[in-house]
Structure 1
Amino acid sequence: MAMADNPGFTRRGLLGVFAATAVVAAPTYSKAFGLLRGAGDVRRISMYSGRTGESIDTIYWIEGEYIPEVVKEINHFMRDWRSDDVKKMDPRNFDVMAAAHRLMDTDEPYMLLSGYRSPATNAMLRSHSKGVARNSLHMKGQAADLRLKSRSVGQMARAAKACAAGGVGTYPRSDFVHMDCGPLRTWGG
């Protein structure tokens, strides 16, 4: 559909230009913030939870500011679904997730497997799996475990690593990628 003011431009074409601009302009929170620049300084996150049946598709940042009400909604969405505990999430992790999503060029929302984890939930998971860190960044509201049907774990991990903005763990047997806004590091295979 052509835009009314300039029939030579389509909405999809403009979004493509914005996405290309975002990849080229890469200042830093390491690279994640730069990868999100270019679309009128708007940041969006889209996810659903198979655990709760909820979904969220929202713009959480406009013109240099996180939108407090929307950040609260995302915090609630990313809560520990086992205990219903809500934690103030670190919005830098939204930026990592959004930047990686943009790089993958998909409209499919992330499936959120795990956002915030209460200490009790983390301890329970740790007792069942050696892959759960004792001091997990999930407990600090700085991590998410995500899946996309349309992208492989490898594709997701490469996109997250390209952001150079935190930890990226790959779990191919469980079909998910861990993204966090902690120290830069990678693990898994």
Structure 2
Amino acid sequence: MTNTAKSGVTRRGLLGVFAATLVTAAPTYANAFGLLRGAGDIRRVKMYSGRTGETLDTIYWVEGEYIPEVMDEITHFMRDWRTNETKVIDPRTVDIIAAAHSLMDVSEPYMLLSGYRCPKTNAMLRESSRGVARNSLHMKGQAADLRLKSRSVGQMAKAAEACAAGGVGRYPRSNFVHMDCGPLRHWGG
């Protein structure tokens, strides 16, 4: 993609295709994984970590296939920054994150507050906050806590809920939204 001028593919064109197909692909897992398989779609995720200083702006799905090397990068990016431990991030979580981002029509990357959390980190956080689940999906690589400067917690949560594909938690006091690929549910004010 570094030589887009010669191929006739532009960044804006790719983003337009991504935005158009992602809204259709995201509402349910059945659609996300089956409907557009082989239809020429792409999916992109944009995040940065204030904890590590790392950024991620990548296309992780092309032509109905997840790109294994990119999914490995996402897993590393979403690691437990306290211990540097990783767990494979469930692609369904990445799909929800990307779809909600697209629905909000923003160019700003998400700030990742928490992706994978090892059991030790989760236990430590449970001691200091009652909002941390004992069997958190973060420990399975199936959840992310995210923030956007340009969108409210309510706007982010509504976009994630529109995907109808997992759990959405609103944390307005801490200014973030939890998104996961677990059972369909929502909580928080």
- The TM-score, its normalising length taken from structure 2, stands at 0.86
**What SS does structure 2 have at the residue aligned with 1:44?**
strand
List, as ranges, runs of 4+ consecutive aligned residues in structure 1 with deviation greater than 2 Å: 10-28, 30-37
Residue by residue over 1:94-144, the C-alpha shift from the partner in whole angstroms, topping out at 9 and shown as x without a partner, is 000000000000010000000000000000000000000000000000000
For residues 149 and 168 of structure 1, the distance between their equivalents in structure 2, rounded to whole angstroms, comes to 18
Equivalent pairs, count: 183
Structure 1 position 12, deviation (Å): 4.9
For residues 141 and 23 of structure 2, the distance between their equivalents in structure 1, rounded to whole angstroms, comes to 27
Structure 1 position 17, deviation (Å): 6.9
Q: Report sequence identity in percent.
A: 79
- In structure 2, do the counterparts of structure 1 residues 11 and 122 end up closer, same or farther at CA, with 3 Å as the change threshold? closer
Gaps of 5+ in 2: none
2:153 is matched with 153
- The answer to whether the 8 Å contact 2:113/2:147 transfers is yes
State the superposition RMSD in angstroms.
2.7
- In structure 2, do the counterparts of structure 1 residues 110 and 36 end up closer, same or farther at CA, with 3 Å as the change threshold? farther
- The TM-score, its normalising length taken from structure 1, stands at 0.86
Residue identity in the other structure for 1:148: L
For residues 58 and 122 of structure 1, the distance between their equivalents in structure 2, rounded to whole angstroms, comes to 28
Q: Single out whichever of 24-33 and 101-110 deviates more from structure 2.
A: 24-33
Gaps of 5+ in 1: 4-9
Residue identity in the other structure for 1:59: I
- The answer to whether the 8 Å contact 2:112/2:145 transfers is yes
- In structure 2, do the counterparts of structure 1 residues 114 and 25 end up closer, same or farther at CA, with 3 Å as the change threshold? closer
- The answer to whether the 8 Å contact 2:18/2:42 transfers is no
